[in-house]
Amino acid sequence: MTAPTRTSRELPVGLPSRRPTVLQGVGELLLTVGVLLLLLCVYEVYGTNLVTEREQRQLGRDLSESWAAAPGGPGRPVAREPPLGRAFARLYLPRLDGTRPLVVVQGVSVADLKKGPGHLPGSALPGELGNLVLSGHRTTYGAPFSELDRLRDGDAVVVETRDSWFTYRVEAQQVVLPTAVEVTYPVPGRAGAAPTRRLLTLTTCNPKYSARERLIVSGQLEDRQPTSAGRPAALGEA
């Protein structure tokens, strides 16, 4: 019996065709896109934290050097805002981070907040009448305000400047829409009103991994003491 001949168009049994199908091409493309998205997510969650940690270390050194070199030396207040993106003050959240400071920069732009929490230009300076507004990321870029929702009424929030320690006490917490800019007014909710209290407002995104709302933590100044008097007792709270 004669074996069947194989035509030029036939392939040996068991060898796959080398012609990729449309479905194979789409599958490979989706796999590639999926890997790239995964790498992007890993960078956003972890890689950006490393970037901000490096920025915070450098900003901390810059802040110490600028305070030491300021006219009049330590103890003489300098009531002016630094340039945008520059170190502004140190922020302590004893309940959340113990005595680990966060270096606050001047400005709340995307670039500014990649370095750490930022001071809203035009809002009150630490200890001044009005509303000291500080904003920060809740996820990525160091997530300085990641656990801001854990703050409770009466908790201390301490701000350090070159010459003074300012201890604020949390009074309220609320969730608002991103358009609710009235929470940043000198008198929150009252445009044009003259301030009579020394307030603090911390703002961050809400919920985590979303920007559809803003978490607002509000407080009022309780105490001011010169840096020459040592660290405030509030830093020992938890």
Is 137 tagged catalytic?
Answer: yes
Q: How far apart are CA 57 and CA 66, in angstroms?
A: 14
Residue 210, amino acid? S
Find, among 56, 143, 65, 51, the residue nearest to 104 by Cα: 56
Among residues 90, 137, 138, 162, the one annotated as catalytic is: 137
pLDDT at 91: 97
pLDDT at 48: 67
N-to-C CA span, the chain: 93
Is 41 tagged catalytic?
Answer: no
Is 205 tagged catalytic?
Answer: yes
Domain assignments of the chain as residue spans, ordered by start: 43-236
| Domain spanning 43-236, CATH architecture | Beta Barrel (2.40)
Residue 184 CB-half CA count within 13 A: 19
pLDDT at 46: 54
Among residues 119, 138, 198, 214, the one annotated as catalytic is: 214
pLDDT at 40: 47
Q: The dihedral of CA 23, 25, 28, 33: what is its sign?
A: negative
Helix (H) or strand (E) holding 91: strand 87-92
pLDDT per position in the chain (238 positions), as tens?
A: 555 555 445 544 454 555 567 666 666 666 665 545 554 454 455 566 788 899 999 999 999 999 988 765 444 444 578 899 999 999 999 999 877 899 999 999 999 999 999 999 999 999 999 999 999 999 988 899 999 999 999 999 999 999 999 999 999 999 999 999 999 999 999 999 999 999 999 999 999 988 899 999 999 999 999 999 999 999 988 6
